[in-house]
Structure 1
Amino acid sequence: MNVVTTGKREWIGLAVLTLPALLASLELTVTNLALPAIGRDLGASGTQLLWIVDIYAFLLAGSLITMGVWGDRIGRRRLLLIGAAVYGLASLLAAFAPDAGSLIAARALMGVAGSTLMPSTLSLATALFPEPRQRAVAIGVIVASVSGGTAIGPLVGGWLLAHFWWGSAFLLAVPFMAVLLVVAPPLLPEVRDPGAGRLDLVSALLSLGAVLPVVYGLKQIAADGPDVPSAAAIAAGVALGAAFARRQRALAVPFVDLRLFADRTFGVAAATLALGIFVLWGSNYAIAQYLQLVHGLSPLEAGLWTAPSAAGVIAGSLLAPRLARTIRPPVVIGVGLAVSAAGYLVLTQTGGLAVLVTGAVVVSAGLGPMMALATDLVVGSAPPERAGAAAAISSTAPQLGGALGIALLGSVITAVYRNEVSSSLPPAARDSLTTAVAVADGLPERLAAELLGTARAAFVEGFHLAAAISAGLMTGIALLIVTLLRSRR
């Protein structure tokens, strides 16, 4: 591995690494805003619109481990450049797709290419800043960049779609990737594991097969509730995951060294990332519904109201490395999670937008330290030659935890809603608040107001229960990491 002396060049290199991190969340936000125009211009069905979003998320999550391990073998800078080139090309194909099927195919390619970006970004940041304090700052900057994309996404997307056609949502990625391809080679080091051996294709397929069905099943549960196909998909993913683990233990040079999890710091930090994002994604999903279905905001307006919470993550993730210089990182994470728990308690009292936004900002500010420092603990506790695999795990854990959070916390809200309206609303409006809003659109004004009042009150009850559960989970996670890593410095 190259020995790097930290200086001005390394900090400029970090600025370069923020480009793919910023794009990761910015692109997804803008794509969601573009869906109505895509449906209108391409004649896409509701199912096709869902696949335009979901195929990207599925292949991104499923390919992260493979790409992180591949980067350890071929070089992390090389992988980043390959991914950036393919991502830019796929974005061009998406922007000029003639029909919905072509757009879905381009989005699939974008998902695979996108899975190269975050593992490469995190592992290269580790190589640029081997000193622990500076590495923590660098990872905090990357986490803040991801949140920055979420914050400015509604503004950028709204402006683009107001002035250009829907393809501009995908063309946005092209200049990011072009700049990365030009400036990355002279600024970023090439780092690889010389003893990694060849890429085991069977393990790569097993890792993909383990993650994809689980994410798919969880998303289906979140959308339609539990059913046999969703449960079967999750069970298949778990079975393939077990086969993947058995193969790694049998290989002389494993695809992913599962002994990494024997390190308490690595294992607890990865679990904290998964559990923390479990709660965050679940609550963000509920807040988005609350803003649009209870307060009647458009997707763009809802995005603007959630921007302050992204600012909370930015503040927390940038402040955390400074605090960790004098306070043990697990304590900083634990206190941050306790702050988030307090934010969720605020969300149990929501009525107006001011209370909702205040609670969401407090939640996000408390989670920022966890996202930055837990990622740093995962990547920093792994041997340098396995940084790519460790970075991939630190990216995959939140994806799985987040999908599970949306499914389970969403199911809590749905269960409460259905129980509350079981005898007060017509059958067509009892499934969810979304169906109630659709039914209300066809009713006279007075009847629609009565139906929506009942349905919205039931949804808010479920939302409050999910927020209370989230507060309890945050408290438990805080105690877990402080207890298990109390000696970590």
Structure 2
Amino acid sequence: MNSADASLSAPSSTVSERATPREWAALAVLTLPVLLISVDMTVLGFAVPHLSEDLAPTSVQLLWIVDVYSFVLAALLVTMGALGDRVGRRNLLMLGAAGFGAASLAAAFAPSAEVMIAARALLGLAGSTLMPSTLALIRNIFRDNVQRKFAIAVWSSALAGGSALGPVLGGTLLEFFWWGSLFLINVPVTALILVLTPFLVREYRATHPASIDAVSALLVAAAMFPAVYGVKKLAEHGPALLPVVSVATGVLFGYVFVRRQLRSENPMLDVRLFTIRAFSVGVWLNLITLFTMIAALFFLTQFLQIVLGISPLWSGLALLPGLTLAIAASLLAVGAAARVGFRGTLTAGLALMAVGFMVLTQLPQGSAAVAAVGFAFICFGMGLTQTLTNDAVVGSVPEQRAGAASAVSETGYELGAALGIAILGSVLWASYSSKLHDVPGVPGGAMESARDTLGGAVQAAESLAPDAANGLVSAAHIAFVDAIHVTSAVAAGILVLAAVHTAWTLRGSTTV
């Protein structure tokens, strides 16, 4: 650890402060919001075909339905992390749980794509209070380093467990109920959080909390939204003046935000945390792993349900082995790091994810097995990295900064999920559209709808003569699988570069 690392890292405790049974019970409660958010993130992928049919969104609206939640959440996490340090992390957790339940009801009964986008944005607002609160509270509750690492491994496995539960639960609900039931399942979980948290989780506030700076909060949002919008448009349509200016505007506001924090005596976010190598690598890898994994889930659920015609329930079961491996990898990560080191375990996890995407570049037209194998590699590699990155973030900073550190970590996590859909999703649709050529007997309007989304192709085929319909669906399926090959190759390349960068950045490092 260099001098910057040492000056900002948490001091080692000379007294073992072992957790009590109540604190282990509190950990169980703190896994509920993580399950809630991870289920919500993965279950939505299974609803995409059904949302496309009932709400008839355009391709851009469909992308916003999926990722606006993460954009709003990422823009507010830093502010909410600082707010939790001031008003109490438990208080903020309970407020967010109540809001998440209410927004879930609005999403469940959304009558249009526009209302669904608004409801998902409200879910992001409520969700921004949950994730940093849970991770910061774990940092507060578990003072012993060994117990903290295990607690974060449990937290990370709950994150992976929610991802595993989402497809199976979503598939089961869609087998028997309408897509709104996917949001209604959030309501009893939020009620359970509200009932149990006051009894089992103690309140924690920072002794010297960061200031709640309204200007800084606005700067974060002003940096986030133009940059993300510009990246989305560049991915969809290529270089153009408006998206380039939008990205530049976001970067400019981000620069102003950083300068303001450096000049403040009590900054909302201490950007010097990024001089800690373990912290900065942890945030970066949270972004990269979710960027690629969520994109894979986005296109594989459509492949299984629309291309292969598998029911939602069996589609979820096809992905369950990989997502279950993510839970196992989360619990194995601490032991693996003790044997081969922090750097070696992270690099191996990224390499395994890259292998999974390389498998998907060879995905045949009709094989659920190859899809499941590729996804298993992706999830196992992600599980290895997530436990270590989250412990790196909260374990490498002083306790007083746990809320801010957790918020930055989750910003990387949620922004990665959003950008995965925005960028890799746009790569997928651009490739699909370019590969879907005119089909004999299909009029221009139907071809235009078919090129918009895969669901649009299926809907357009319903109004055509049998030969033209079969030709259109077949061509759309071939184009979509080809697009998966292209998108998977891009994701694999990104992960290889991330593995090389991680190995280089952490050279000489042993443990967090």
How high is the TM-score relative to the length of structure 1? 0.86
How far 1:122 moved relative to its partner?
0.9
Match status 1:377 vs 2:398: no
2:209 match: secondary structure: coil
Matched residue, 1:201: 214
Match status 1:125 vs 2:138: yes
Deviations 1:403-448 (A, max 9, x none): 3333333344445445545587876368456254454444433344
Matched residue, 1:482: 503
1:325 match: secondary structure: helix
Residues 68, 391 of structure 1: 8 Å contact kept:
yes
Q: Distance in 2 between matches of 1:483 and 1:216?
A: 31
Match status 1:388 vs 2:403: yes
2:339 match: secondary structure: coil
How far 1:477 moved relative to its partner?
1.9
How far 1:140 moved relative to its partner?
2.2
Matched residue, 2:380: 365
Q: Distance in 2 between matches of 1:415 and 1:212?
A: 22
Matched residue, 2:3: none
Residues 170, 316 of structure 2: 8 Å contact kept:
no
Matched residue, 2:421: 406
Deviations 1:48-80 (A, max 9, x none): 887665553332222111111211222222221
How far 1:266 moved relative to its partner?
1.3
Structure 1: 5+ residue stretches without partners: none
Matched residue, 2:163: 150
Match status 1:471 vs 2:492: yes
Matched residue, 1:63: 76
1:204 match: secondary structure: helix
Matched residue, 1:16: 29
Q: Distance in 2 between matches of 1:117 and 1:340?
A: 28
Q: Distance in 2 between matches of 1:230 and 1:298?
A: 39
Residues 158, 300 of structure 1: 8 Å contact kept:
yes
Q: Distance in 2 between matches of 1:481 and 1:162?
A: 42
Moved more, 434-443 or 15-24: 434-443
How far 1:234 moved relative to its partner?
3.6
How far 1:118 moved relative to its partner?
0.7
Residues 171, 311 of structure 2: 8 Å contact kept:
no
**Partner amino acid for 2:166?**
G
Match status 1:78 vs 2:91: yes
**Partner amino acid for 2:332?**
L
Deviations 1:388-416 (A, max 9, x none): 11111111112223333333333444454
Identify if the C-alpha distance between structure 1 residues 18 and 267 changes in structure 2 by more than 3 Å, giving closer, same or farther. same
How far 1:218 moved relative to its partner?
4.5
Q: Distance in 2 between matches of 1:358 and 1:286?
A: 15
How far 1:39 moved relative to its partner?
8.9
1:252 match: secondary structure: coil
Identify if the C-alpha distance between structure 1 residues 15 and 210 changes in structure 2 by more than 3 Å, giving closer, same or farther. same
Matched residue, 1:187: 200
**Partner amino acid for 2:398?**
P
Moved more, 476-485 or 380-389: 476-485
Moved more, 12-21 or 169-178: 169-178
Q: Distance in 1 between matches of 2:487 and 2:122?
A: 35
Match status 1:260 vs 2:281: no
How far 1:256 moved relative to its partner?
0.4
Q: Distance in 2 between matches of 1:284 and 1:162?
A: 19
Residues 6, 128 of structure 1: 8 Å contact kept:
yes
1:271-286 matches, cutoff 5 A: 271-286=284-299
**Identical aligned pairs, as a percentage?**
44
Residues 27, 172 of structure 1: 8 Å contact kept:
no
Q: Distance in 2 between matches of 1:49 and 1:418?
A: 15
Q: Distance in 2 between matches of 1:166 and 1:433?
A: 19
Match status 1:6 vs 2:19: yes
Residues 127, 189 of structure 1: 8 Å contact kept:
no
Residues 78, 190 of structure 1: 8 Å contact kept:
yes
Q: Distance in 2 between matches of 1:412 and 1:95?
A: 29
Residues 171, 315 of structure 2: 8 Å contact kept:
no
Moved more, 338-347 or 369-378: 338-347
Deviations 1:170-199 (A, max 9, x none): 443233223222322343233322222531
Deviations 1:18-50 (A, max 9, x none): 10011112234555666788899xx85636887
How far 1:145 moved relative to its partner?
1.5
Q: Distance in 2 between matches of 1:74 and 1:383?
A: 19
Q: In the alignment, which of 116, 141, 147 is matched to residue 134 of structure 1? A: 147
2:338 match: secondary structure: coil
Residues 215, 400 of structure 1: 8 Å contact kept:
no
1:82-121 matches, cutoff 5 A: 82-92=95-105, 107-121=120-134
Match status 1:327 vs 2:340: yes
Identify if the C-alpha distance between structure 1 residues 276 and 157 changes in structure 2 by more than 3 Å, giving closer, same or farther. closer
Matched residue, 2:480: 459
Structure 2: 5+ residue stretches without partners: 1-9
Q: Distance in 2 between matches of 1:247 and 1:271?
A: 22
Q: In the alignment, which of 336, 340, 349 is matched to residue 336 of structure 1? A: 349
**Partner amino acid for 1:9?**
R
Q: Distance in 1 between matches of 2:115 and 2:352?
A: 45
**Partner amino acid for 2:217?**
A
**Partner amino acid for 1:488?**
T
Q: How many residues align?
A: 487
Moved more, 23-32 or 59-68: 23-32
Matched residue, 1:174: 187
**Partner amino acid for 1:71?**
G
Q: Distance in 2 between matches of 1:432 and 1:101?
A: 18
2:18 match: secondary structure: coil
How high is the TM-score relative to the length of structure 2? 0.83
**Partner amino acid for 1:483?**
W
Identify if the C-alpha distance between structure 1 residues 268 and 163 changes in structure 2 by more than 3 Å, giving closer, same or farther. closer
Deviations 1:101-144 (A, max 9, x none): 77665544332121111101111112222333322222222222
Identify if the C-alpha distance between structure 1 residues 218 and 143 changes in structure 2 by more than 3 Å, giving closer, same or farther. farther
1:45-60 matches, cutoff 5 A: 46=57, 54-60=67-73
